[in-house]
Chains A and B, each alone.
Chain A
C-alpha cells in the first residue's frame, strides 16, 4: 500500500471514482488530487518551499492528458526540469481516454512514465499497477 498518491485529472467524477476505487482497493493511504498540471506543479512548489519533515511526497502520479490550463504533457515538461529534480524519481502512470497514437509515441520520450493506461480505473488495473511499481 502506497503512502501518498497524486491524482491529476480535471473531471470531478473521474476524481470521485478514483478515490472510491483506490480506497476500496486499499491502494494508497493518502490521495492528493489536482485538477490540472498547474495545480500539481503548485503542490510540488509548496513541497519545495516547505522544509518540514512531514512532507507528503507522492510515490506515484496518475496523470490525465487532456486538461484545461495545463495538460499532461506540459506538466511533464515542467516537472522534468531541474527545478523539480528532487522529485524526478516519482513514477508516472498516464491514465487517459485518448486514442491518438501520437500520445502513445510521446509517452516514450519521458523515462518517468511507467505505463500508459486507458480509463476507467478499476480494481484490476490497480492490482496490475502494484506489480509494476
Chain B
C-alpha cells in the first residue's frame, strides 16, 4: 500500500519537474517580456488547477475504498456481536455447564452452569485446567485424561466422555462432557470449548436397570415374558426367557422365542389349571398355576408359576411376566411327608389304643383288688401279723391305683388337645381340693393362706384345675421341711385378661441348678420319698398347657418353691 503511494508521489513530482523545465525552456522563446510574467502566472494557475484535479481524483478513489472497508468491518463487527449475543442466550438457556479453555495459556473459564449444576460460587472456581481435573473422580480421571489429550493431539476427531464430577458439597455427579477444538492458522489446537451435562439420573436409572437385568439373568427362578394377547386360544407368544428357564426346560432362548408356551403342555398337564390360565389372560388377571410341564426331552417336571400382567405408561397391557419354579422335589417331599404323616398318625392311633387297652387290663384286676380290700375292712382280723400284711397290701394297692389313675389322666390329656372350659369359682375348687387332702392336712398341719379376692371366678377346666392344685398342694405338704413349720400360700392376680396363680411354700425345694430342665419331665424324682411316682409335675404341666397356660418354677434348696401359673381368663 505504502509503495503505491510513494509511486504516485514520485510520478507526480517527476511530471511537475518536467512541466517546470519545459515551461522554462519554451516560454522565453515564444513570449515577449511583457507577456512573460502573465504567461508564468497563467502556467502556475494551470498547474495548480491540474494538481487540484489530480488530488481530488485520488481523494475520491481513496474515499470509495475506505468506505467499502468500513462497511465490511462494520458488518463483521455486527456479526460478532450477534454471535456473542446468541452464545449468551444459549448458554443461559441450556442447563449444561459450558467451559472455555485457552490451551496454550492454560486459562479456563466457566459459565454460570457450574454454580447451578455443581454449586460452585465464582470465587471457588480455579482459572486453570488443573481445577477441572482435580474435580474428576479419581477412578475416572486417568481414562478421561488419555481420551482428552489424544483428542487435543488430533488423534481423534470428536471428543465426548462420561465421568464423575465433584460438586461443591463433596458429592459426585455423573456427567457427559462434549467438546470441540479451535485451531490457529497453522492448525495447532489453541482453544477448546465444551459443555457438561448432568446425567446422574440417567446413570442411576441405567444402573437400576442393569441391576434388574442381573436379577433376571442371575436368578434361579425361571422368567418368561410373553406378548400381551392370546394367540387363537393359545398362551401368548414368548418374547424373552432367562437362562434359568433354559436350564430348567432344556430349551435355548432362540429356539423358544416367538413360540407359545403351549408346547410345554403334555398328556399329564393339569387341564383345569390350563383353563384357569387362559381365563386369567383373557381377563387380564394375575394367577398362580401348578401343573406338570414337559422339558425339551419330554421329561415331566412339576412347575409352579405366577402369571402377572405388565402395563405400559399409557396403562395398556404390554406383556405378561411369568416367574416359574421347578417344584418336582417339593412335590416328592410332600408325598413322602403325607405318607409319613399317615404312618405316624396310624402309629399314634395304635399306641393310643394300646395305652387304653393296657390301662383297662391293669385297671380291671386292680379294681377287683380294691373292691376285695374294701370288703375286708368290715371283717375283724385278730392275727396282728396278718393285719400288718393286709395293711401293706392295702397301701400298695392304693398307690398302684393312684399311679394308674395318673397315667390314665396323662393319656387322656395327650389325646385331647382341646378341652371344654367353664366358669368356676376358685374358692370352691380349693375347698374341693382341701377336702380330698383332709388326711394329709390333718397329719402335717401346714399353715395355708389363700387370697382369691382379686380373681373370684376363672374360665377354666374344672377337673384339670382341681388336679393341678391337688398335685401342687400334695407336693408342698409331702416335701415340707423337717425343721420348719410348713407354710403354703396361694394367691390369684389378674392383669388384663391374664390370670396369675402363685403357689408358694417353704419346703425342702428342688436343686434347679442341676434339675431345671428336668423338673416337668416324665418319671423325674428329686426326693427320696416312698410314694413319689415322678408323674405329678409332668401331669400339672400337661394340664396347664392344654388349657393354653404356662407354668414356671423358682426354687431354692431348703428355702422353698414357688410355682407361677398364668392363663388367659377369656369368656368365650
- A residues sitting closer than 8 Å to B (CB atoms) are 11, 13-14, 17, 20-21, 24, 66, 96-101, 118-123
Contact = CB atoms under 8 A, between A and B. Distances in A.
Nearest to B368: A13
B356 interface: yes
B389 interface: no
A122 B360 contact: no
A33 to B, nearest CB: 15
Nearest to A120: B371
A113 B34 CA distance: 190
A100 B356 contact: yes
Interface of B: 353, 356, 359-360, 363-368, 370-372, 374-375, 378, 408, 411-412, 415-416
B371 A21 contact: yes
19 contacts: A13-B372, A14-B368, A14-B371, A17-B368, A17-B375, A21-B371, A24-B375, A97-B360, A97-B366, A98-B360, A99-B360, A99-B363, A99-B408, A100-B356, A120-B367, A120-B368, A121-B371, A122-B371, A122-B374
Contact of B412 (A21, A101, A118, A120): A101
A24 B356 CA distance: 33
A17 B356 contact: no
Given A17-B375, A99-B412, A101-B416, A66 B360 contact: yes
A11 B378 CA distance: 23
Contact of A101 (B360, B364, B370, B415): B415
Contacts of A11: 364, 368
The majority secondary structure among interface residues of chain B is helix
A119 B356 contact: no
Nearest to B411: A99
Which of B359, B360, B365 has the most C-beta atoms of chain A within 10 angstroms of its own C-beta?
Answer: B360
A119 to B, nearest CB: 4
Nearest to B362: A97
Contact of A99 (B359, B368, B374, B378): B359
A17 B416 CA distance: 34
B370 A120 contact: yes
Leading 8 A-B pairs by shortest Cβ distance: A120-B371, A119-B367, A97-B363, A120-B367, A100-B356, A97-B364, A99-B408, A17-B371
A122 to B, nearest CB: 6
A1 B416 CA distance: 40
**Most chain A CB neighbours (cut-off 10 Å) among B356, B365, B368:** B368
